[in-house]
Chain A
């Protein structure tokens, strides 16, 4: 019932989209991000990336012609109508995320929703989209259960927990410390949903691969002091330390490890905080050689990732980090589906999303492609490992696609 009501509302807008000459009314796509609160720096990075995406879609970009919608103006299959981004602040609250999702759907009449950032917020916001029959595409939340809910309007482009754990295992089984295989792994994770779920999936996968986790230290991300954790590691002497942290604590760890003179042979910093350009700028110099997981490798000149990163940098003065890139890719996939739907009808966009089959060269990120399974999860999402050199991450694993050679042991501040 709600679907028919939506399509009736969308119908008048459809009539305007005939010839290619006049641009016509813009097509609105909604995005929910944390623009205030503790995750505000991530949210504002996403905002800049999405605004860049809108500009790229609405103006011809011959340089990026390999990617859908870039060579043309607006949505060519819908009469060249321009794209309009409607951004909302979810304030880090599941309830606000729902309110804003409802507002974007009923007041702003967006044809699709994207974003969410924290998994819990993606969950509540997408429940509203599901009830109203509006496609919801998420590009950054990794909690596995999001695509296990039997939703018909929910799609996710990002790699999730098991993909992430798999690449770590592959790397850890191949890596050597002082010419012997790795035997002792420590995980230090922030204890909210992100850190806990990634730590759990790594632990489970490690057990299945016969690599056991010797030590796991969960901590609260808002800690004012993390030196005790660092000393615990210094005491335990693991071969590999895996940190799963947000930006603020990632910065503190890098600084405290230097202050306490601790360097593990291999240091892995999982994505979020360590990918954040804020981390690289404020603490990168003391964390040289840290290994990170990423799907975004802008280090190969001429690649889509390289060009997008350059445009983003010109706009913001900062490097695009992995989370932001995944967010932007999710948004671009949504726009591509709207164009292929040839209509602003939710059901048509949903069908187009289901039929999505993007190749690696059509993407701005390092996935093998985008193709959704029946649950809405991208089956071609993939991850690679990068290493910090100076103030830039370079790809080092898997070796066949890497741009640089892996350097071990971890150097830190030297």
Chain B
């Protein structure tokens, strides 16, 4: 196929997918599925934010819930202390996250492989325990948003649709940013670092500095995801805002779709979240745990047959097509 029509057909395909993403929630009336859609957007947002440092820079953080929690708590503490609309706390959450990333990032980013992952787990767990034991931060009980919506700024809607579009909009911004980054010098450096950090360093890549940039961008967007989550839910406690399971879910969404690719985390989230919700809706009431057996088995299955995530299957397909076309 010649280059120009191919680019055009790709553009058309992209436009169609985008249109479908924008329109489908309007076509169904079922609020539960609309809400699942909103949660997909939210999970894709945090997994894509994780992807900046975990995928592109190859630094596998399993403590990103630290930043997510910053955002969630900033939103609801702003309400608890000053009666702000929860979303107004978001900039403060981002600020605290950036500060934390700067302070703990320096010593932690020097660690290699599993040591880095473990250090991030330890940091997130530290935050969880400290918040649990600090009454002014809501302690173990957690903090709540406004019980009754006061204005539209409280982002308290009956329909899940506004959440879908708000989360989707922020995700769009993040994807644009990621796309820009991956094509900039930074993206080039990060790929070099992910491939062979030592080699990259010897070629003069300022690895420390670029890893830190990636961490900062990642922390900021993850925090924003936390703020949006808290605004929708109106409640956060140490487990739901700082629990290790959330970090793991960001990682597996990205890993499932393909870490270090632009749309991988979105694809991963679009599979995992509905899978989780639908298995729970189907089997949850039986009280047998079969929900998680099915959910876990599907994850095992994917990792067994496509260890590189679904992106790997896609590239295998492409290679297969190229072989047969040529």
Residues of A at under 8 Å CB distance from B? 2, 33, 35-36, 40, 43-44, 47, 86-89, 91-96, 98-100, 102-103, 106-107, 119-120, 123-124, 127, 131-132, 143, 145, 149-151, 191-193, 195-197, 218, 220
The answer, yes or no, to whether B303 is at the interface (CB within 8 Å) is no
Distance of A44 Cα from B234 Cα, bound (Å): 28
Interface segment out of the listed B138-146, B168-176, B202-210, B220-228: B138-146
Given contacts A36-B292, A151-B147, A191-B133, A127 and B240 within 8 Å (CB-CB): no
The answer, yes or no, to whether B284 is at the interface (CB within 8 Å) is yes
B61 to chain A, nearest CB (A): 22
| Residue pair A94, B235 in contact (C-beta under 8 Å) | yes
| Residue pair A192, B239 in contact (C-beta under 8 Å) | yes
| Complex interface: chain B residues within 8 A of A96 (CB) | 280
| Residue pair B30, A193 in contact (C-beta under 8 Å) | no
| Complex interface: chain A residues within 8 A of B292 (CB) | 36
| Complex interface: chain A residues within 8 A of B234 (CB) | 124, 127
Number of B residues with CB within 8 Å of any CB on chain A: 39
With beta carbons under 8 angstroms apart, the residue of A33, A150, A218 that contacts B147 is A150
| Residue pair B233, A124 in contact (C-beta under 8 Å) | yes
The answer, yes or no, to whether B285 is at the interface (CB within 8 Å) is yes
A219 to chain B, nearest CB (A): 11
Interface core residue of B233, B277, B288 (most chain A CB under 10 Å): B233
The answer, yes or no, to whether B3 is at the interface (CB within 8 Å) is no
Distance of A150 Cα from B287 Cα, bound (Å): 33
The answer, yes or no, to whether B39 is at the interface (CB within 8 Å) is yes
| Complex interface: chain A residues within 8 A of B238 (CB) | 192
With beta carbons under 8 angstroms apart, the residue of B30, B147, B281 that contacts A149 is B147
Given contacts A35-B285, A89-B291, A106-B32, A123 and B158 within 8 Å (CB-CB): no
| Complex interface: chain A residues within 8 A of B158 (CB) | 2, 131-132
| Residue pair B235, A124 in contact (C-beta under 8 Å) | yes
Distance of A95 Cα from B31 Cα, bound (Å): 15
Given contacts A44-B287, A89-B287, A91-B280, A102 and B144 within 8 Å (CB-CB): no
Distance of A358 Cα from B233 Cα, bound (Å): 35
Residue of A nearest to B277 (CB): A99
Residue of A nearest to B31 (CB): A106
* Contacts A99-B36, A120-B142, A220-B132 known; 6 new A-B pairs at CB < 8 A: A88-B280, A88-B284, A102-B32, A103-B32, A149-B147, A193-B140
| Complex interface: chain B residues within 8 A of A35 (CB) | 284-289
Given contacts A123-B144, A195-B140, A89 and B285 within 8 Å (CB-CB): yes
| Residue pair A99, B32 in contact (C-beta under 8 Å) | yes
A-facing mask of B229-249, CB < 8 A → 1, else 0? 100011111111000000000
Cross-chain pairs A/B with CB under 8 angstroms, 19 sampled = A35-B289, A44-B287, A86-B285, A88-B280, A89-B284, A89-B285, A94-B233, A95-B233, A95-B240, A99-B39, A100-B280, A102-B31, A106-B30, A120-B235, A124-B234, A131-B156, A149-B147, A193-B141, A193-B142
| Residue pair B32, A120 in contact (C-beta under 8 Å) | no
A-facing mask of B149-165, CB < 8 A → 1, else 0? 00000001010100000
| Complex interface: chain B residues within 8 A of A143 (CB) | 141
Residue of A nearest to B142 (CB): A120
| Complex interface: chain B residues within 8 A of A145 (CB) | 144
- Sorted from nearest, which 10 A-B pairs have the closest CB atoms? A89-B284, A149-B147, A87-B285, A35-B287, A103-B32, A196-B140, A193-B141, A106-B31, A192-B140, A131-B158
| Complex interface: chain A residues within 8 A of B148 (CB) | 149-150
Distance of A151 Cα from B147 Cα, bound (Å): 8
| Complex interface: chain A residues within 8 A of B277 (CB) | 99
A100 to chain B, nearest CB (A): 7
The answer, yes or no, to whether B35 is at the interface (CB within 8 Å) is yes
With beta carbons under 8 angstroms apart, the residue of B39, B133, B237, B289 that contacts A218 is B133
Distance of A124 Cα from B230 Cα, bound (Å): 11
Question: Which residues of chain B in 277-318 are interfacial with respect to chain A, using CB atoms and an 8 Å cutoff?
Answer: 277, 280-281, 284-289, 291-292
Distance of A381 Cα from B288 Cα, bound (Å): 33
| Complex interface: chain A residues within 8 A of B129 (CB) | 220
Distance of A92 Cα from B238 Cα, bound (Å): 13
| Complex interface: chain A residues within 8 A of B144 (CB) | 123, 145
Distance of A92 Cα from B284 Cα, bound (Å): 12
Distance of A87 Cα from B277 Cα, bound (Å): 15
| Complex interface: chain B residues within 8 A of A86 (CB) | 285
| Residue pair B284, A120 in contact (C-beta under 8 Å) | no
A54 to chain B, nearest CB (A): 13
Distance of A143 Cα from B141 Cα, bound (Å): 9
Distance of A1 Cα from B133 Cα, bound (Å): 42
Question: Which residues of chain B in 2-59 are interfacial with respect to chain A, using CB atoms and an 8 Å cutoff?
Answer: 30-32, 35-36, 39
| Complex interface: chain B residues within 8 A of A89 (CB) | 280, 284-285, 287, 291
B41 to chain A, nearest CB (A): 14
Given contacts A87-B287, A102-B35, A124-B235, A191 and B132 within 8 Å (CB-CB): yes
Residue of A nearest to B285 (CB): A87
Given contacts A107-B32, A120-B240, A124-B235, A36 and B289 within 8 Å (CB-CB): yes
| Residue pair A197, B141 in contact (C-beta under 8 Å) | yes
Distance of A285 Cα from B140 Cα, bound (Å): 32
Residue of B nearest to A133 (CB): B158
| Complex interface: chain B residues within 8 A of A220 (CB) | 129, 132
| Residue pair A192, B32 in contact (C-beta under 8 Å) | no
| Residue pair A196, B141 in contact (C-beta under 8 Å) | yes
Distance of A79 Cα from B142 Cα, bound (Å): 45
Distance of A266 Cα from B31 Cα, bound (Å): 53
Distance of A86 Cα from B292 Cα, bound (Å): 20
A293 to chain B, nearest CB (A): 20
| Complex interface: chain A residues within 8 A of B284 (CB) | 35-36, 87-89, 91, 100
| Residue pair A107, B133 in contact (C-beta under 8 Å) | no
Residue of B nearest to A46 (CB): B287
Residue of A nearest to B139 (CB): A196
A336 to chain B, nearest CB (A): 23
Distance of A35 Cα from B285 Cα, bound (Å): 8
Residue of B nearest to A152 (CB): B148
Distance of A11 Cα from B59 Cα, bound (Å): 57
| Complex interface: chain A residues within 8 A of B142 (CB) | 120, 193
| Residue pair A47, B287 in contact (C-beta under 8 Å) | yes
| Complex interface: chain A residues within 8 A of B39 (CB) | 95, 99
Residue of A nearest to B157 (CB): A131
Residue of A nearest to B281 (CB): A103
B77 to chain A, nearest CB (A): 16
Residue of B nearest to A1 (CB): B158
Distance of A47 Cα from B288 Cα, bound (Å): 11
Residue of A nearest to B32 (CB): A103
| Complex interface: chain A residues within 8 A of B240 (CB) | 93-95, 120
Distance of A196 Cα from B291 Cα, bound (Å): 31
B74 to chain A, nearest CB (A): 18
